[in-house]
Structure 1
Amino acid sequence: MEKKKLKKIFRKIHLYLGFTTGLVVFILGITGCGWVFHDEFKNLFDDYSTVQVENCSFITPLQAKEKALTVYPDHHIHGIAYNQPNEALEVIFYEASPEFYRSVYLNPYNGTVLHQEDNLSGFFAFMLKGHMRLWLPKDIGQPITSYSTLLFLLIIISGIILWWPSSKKQQKQRLTFDWNDKTKWKRKNYDLHSIIGFYSSFFVFLIAFTGVGIGLGWLAFITYKVIGGEKSLYFLQPNNQTEIALPLDDPNNAIHNVYDITKNQFPDYKTIEVHLPESDSLSILVEVLYGEGQFHDVDYLFFDQKTSELLPTESIYGSYADADFSDLVLRMNYDIHVGSIFGLPGKILAFLISLIITTFPVTGCVLWYGKNYGKKKKQLVIN
C-alpha cells in the first residue's frame, strides 16, 4: 500500500476516534490533575491526625472496632490502620452496595474518637468519581472510561505515525516551534497539537496504558502473562492451617497481638493495616505500607488465627520479597499511573502530563474546524 494512502487511513482513524473519545479524554485529564495531589493537600488540613505520644501500648484491633462502631453501628469495618506513635489510628468502613466509605480517627492509646470523615464527599472524591466513571453509575461509567482510554492508545499510535516526517526538512519543522509574526493561527494550533504530542507521547501512553490496566482486568491479565507471570491476579486470602476455630474474642486468637508481631518484624513501616477476618476459618490479613501514597512495595501478610504463623498465598499480593519481575510490574501499575512511583517529582510530572492530555481534544477540534470551515486563504498542508 502506498505511503500516502496508508497515512490517509491513519488520519481517518485519528480523526474519528478523536471525535468519539475527545470529551471523555478531556474529563479524564482534568480530573487526573485534580486527584494527583490529594494526599499532599489532605495532610495540610487534617489537624486531627496528630496525637500526643504516650508511654503505653496501642489499643487492640477489637478495641478499635468497638470504639468505631459507636460512630457507625451496623456497618462493615474494612480495616484498622495503625500509623506512627504520634499519629491517629484510622478505622476504615467500606461497603460496596450501597456504597458506604467512611473513616473514624481514634486516639491510638485510649480510643477517643477524634474525627469522622465521609470519603465519598468533597473535592477530591468528586474528582475521583469523575476520573473513574464520569460521575455515572459504576456499571455504566467505568466501561466508558476504560474503553475510551483503550481507544486513546490507538489515537496516540496513529498520531505518531501521522507526525513522522518523510524528510529532514519536515523533521526540523516538526520538532521545533518555528514561529514568527507571520505565522498563522492554524500553524500554531497544529504545532501545539503535534509537537507537544510527540514530546509527551511516551508519558501519555504510559499513563493511559496503566489506566486501562486498572479498568480492564482482561488487559492486565494478558500483560501479566506476556511478561511471564504465573501467579493469580486475584486477591487470595488463605484459610488457617489449623482446624480448630477461634472466635475473635478468644484471648488466644492472634488478632489481639498481630499488630505487635508485625511491628517487631517490620520496624520500618509507615502504616500497618489490620483486616478483621470475615470468618473463623480465614487468616488475618495485615498490610504493611512503607511510603505515603505508594502501594507497589506493600507487604501483604496472612497470619494463622491460632498459631500466628505466616501463611503463603498464590496471588501476586503477598510478601514484597517474594514478588518477581512480572509481579512487580502489575503491582506498580497504580503508582506509575499517578506518578507516585517517583515520589513528589513523579506526581508533578503526572500532573503536567494530565494537563497536556486535556489540550489534545481542544487543539484537535480546532485543527479540524480550521481545515474544514476556517478561512482558507492559504491552506495548511499536513503530510
Structure 2
Amino acid sequence: MGKGRKVKKKNQSWLLKLNAWLHLWPSIVSGIIVVFVCLTGTIIVYSDEIVDAMAGDAKYVQPQDQKLDLETLLEIQKKEIPGILPSYVLYYKEPGRAVVINGFDPKNIRLSMIYMDPYTGKIIKYDKTIHFFFLMAHMHAHMMLKTTGGWIVIIATIVFVLSTLTGIVLWWPKRWTKTTRKASFTIKWKARFKRLNYDLHNVLGFYSMLICFILGMTGLIIFFQPLMKMTMNSFGATTEDWHKSLPKVKESGQFIDAFPLMDKLFQEIPHKKVIKYWVYDYAKSGVFAFHIADRAGLKSDENRDVRYFDKYTGKPYVINIQQDKHNKVENWVWQLQMGQWLGQVGKFSTFIAGLISTSLPITGFLIWYGRRKRQK
C-alpha cells in the first residue's frame, strides 16, 4: 500500500510538471504572435458599432411615397462610383433608413460602405471607415501573409487554447482555504509590481478562461474544414457546399424587385430590424437569399434567419432541415467568434476577454523572467 501511494504521488508530480512545461514553453515561443492575434481580434469586436457611428446622419433619409428598385440603385452606384463591386446590401425595416451597399474595390483591395437614399437614388455618403477593420480582420486571420500566415496564426491559436486548459490546472489551489480563495479570486492592487503582475496573470486568466477558450476553438473551427464538418455533423447539419445547388438564372425572364419581398418579410417577422442580401452573385443566382436579423455585422448577424425566394415569381424557395441547420450553425460559430452571442453583453464580455488575453503572454513572460533572474 505504501509503495502504491508513492508511485501515485510520483505520477501526479510528473503530470503536473508536464502541465507546467506545456503552459510555459509553447507560450514563450508563440507569445508575440498570440499578442498580435488577440489585439487585432479585440479591435474588431466593436467594428460594427464604430462604422455605424461614423456614418452619422447619412444613415437617415426623408421617407417618400415610393422607393426605387434594387437594380436601379445598383446601377446608380456602379455609375457614380465606378470600379466598386457590391458585396451585400443592407435594407432596414424603418422607412427613414438609408440603403447601405457594402462595396469592394478589387483593384486596390479595399472595402467601403455606400449610403444611398432608396427614394431618390442619391448617394449620401461614401464611407471608407470599414476598410480599417477589413485590414484588422485579415491581420487577425493570417497577418496579411496568406496561407503561410494563416498556419502561423492557427499554430499560435492551438498554443493559446492549450494554455487556457493548462492554466486552469496551474491556477487550481492545492487546498481550498480562506487565504487561497482570496488569493485565487481577487487582485491585490496595492501590492508591489511583482505580486500585482502575478495576480493580473493568474486571476484575470481564470475569469476570462471560458471566453478565451471559446474564441480559440471557434477560430480553429473556422480555419479547419474537417473541424467545421465535425461541428456540422454533431448538430445534424449538412456538410456539403449546398449553395451551389441553388437554382441558377434562366435564359429568359426578368427579376422582380427585391424590396417589396423584404417589406413583406418584415411584416411576417416584425421583431427583426434589418435584412442583409449578398448581391455579389446577383446576375447568376435564380433565388434571393435574405438574411433577416436584429443586427447585421461584418462577419455574422445577430439572431439571424435565412429565407429564400424565387427571383422570377417571388414564391418562397424551401430548403431542407439539414441545409437550414448548416446556415444556423455557421452563423453561431461566427457569432461566438465576433462576440455577438448575447447582444451588447456578449460584445463587452468578448472585448474585455480580448484585452485580458492580449495581456496574458506579457504578464506570463514577466513572471517567467522574474523567476529566472532570481534563480541566477
Give TM class, smaller chain: 0.7 to 0.9
Question: Which of the pair is proportionally richer in helix?
Answer: 2
After superposition, where does 1:259-278 map in structure 2 within 5 Å?
A: 259-276=262-279, 277-278=281-282
| 8 Å Cα contact 2:85-2:106 kept in structure 1 | no
Cα distance change of structure 1 residues 238 and 60 upon mapping to structure 2, 3 Å threshold: farther
- Consecutive unaligned residues of structure 2, counting only runs of 5 or more, are 1-9
Measure how far apart 1:286 and its partner are.
2.1
Matched, 1:168 2:172: no
Match of 1:352 in 2: 352
Q: Given the alignment, which residue of 281, 295, 302 partners 2:301? A: 295
How many residue pairs get matched?
Answer: 362
SS of 2:80 mapped into structure 1:
coil
SS of 1:78 mapped into structure 2:
strand
SS of 1:273 mapped into structure 2:
strand
SS of 2:140 mapped into structure 1:
helix
SS of 1:81 mapped into structure 2:
strand
Measure how far apart 1:363 and its partner are.
1.3
The amino acid that maps onto 2:365 is: C
After superposition, where does 1:111-190 map in structure 2 within 5 Å?
A: 111-118=121-128, 121-122=131-132, 124-134=133-143, 136-168=144-176, 171-172=180-181, 174-177=183-186, 185-190=193-198
Matched, 1:18 2:21: no
- CA–CA separation in structure 2 for the residues paired with 1:237 and 1:310: 18
The amino acid that maps onto 1:22 is: G
Match of 1:68 in 2: 77
Match of 1:99 in 2: 109
After superposition, where does 1:12-51 map in structure 2 within 5 Å?
A: 12-51=21-60
**TM-score, length-scaled by structure 2:** 0.82
**TM-score, length-scaled by structure 1:** 0.81
Matched, 1:86 2:96: yes
Counting aligned pairs with the same residue, the percent is 22
- CA–CA separation in structure 2 for the residues paired with 1:50 and 1:180: 44
Match of 1:230 in 2: 237
- CA–CA separation in structure 2 for the residues paired with 1:255 and 1:192: 53
- Consecutive unaligned residues of structure 1, counting only runs of 5 or more, are 377-383
Measure how far apart 1:229 and its partner are.
2.1
| 8 Å Cα contact 1:101-1:120 kept in structure 2 | yes
SS of 2:364 mapped into structure 1:
helix
Measure how far apart 1:265 and its partner are.
3.5
| 8 Å Cα contact 1:285-1:303 kept in structure 2 | yes
Match of 1:313 in 2: 319
| 8 Å Cα contact 2:116-2:122 kept in structure 1 | yes
Match of 1:283 in 2: 287
- CA–CA separation in structure 1 for the residues paired with 2:99 and 2:66: 13
Cα distance change of structure 1 residues 147 and 74 upon mapping to structure 2, 3 Å threshold: same
Cα distance change of structure 1 residues 306 and 230 upon mapping to structure 2, 3 Å threshold: same
Cα distance change of structure 1 residues 295 and 137 upon mapping to structure 2, 3 Å threshold: same
Measure how far apart 1:111 and its partner are.
0.2
The amino acid that maps onto 1:103 is: M
Deviations 1:318-351 (A, max 9, x none): 4xxxx4xx86454222222333222222222111
The amino acid that maps onto 1:14 is: H
- CA–CA separation in structure 2 for the residues paired with 1:15 and 1:125: 33
- CA–CA separation in structure 1 for the residues paired with 2:323 and 2:80: 32
Measure how far apart 1:153 and its partner are.
0.7
Cα distance change of structure 1 residues 23 and 55 upon mapping to structure 2, 3 Å threshold: same
- CA–CA separation in structure 1 for the residues paired with 2:354 and 2:162: 17
- CA–CA separation in structure 1 for the residues paired with 2:257 and 2:76: 20
- CA–CA separation in structure 1 for the residues paired with 2:120 and 2:359: 52
- CA–CA separation in structure 2 for the residues paired with 1:20 and 1:176: 28
The amino acid that maps onto 2:150 is: Q
Backbone CA RMSD of aligned residues: 3.2
Match of 1:203 in 2: 211
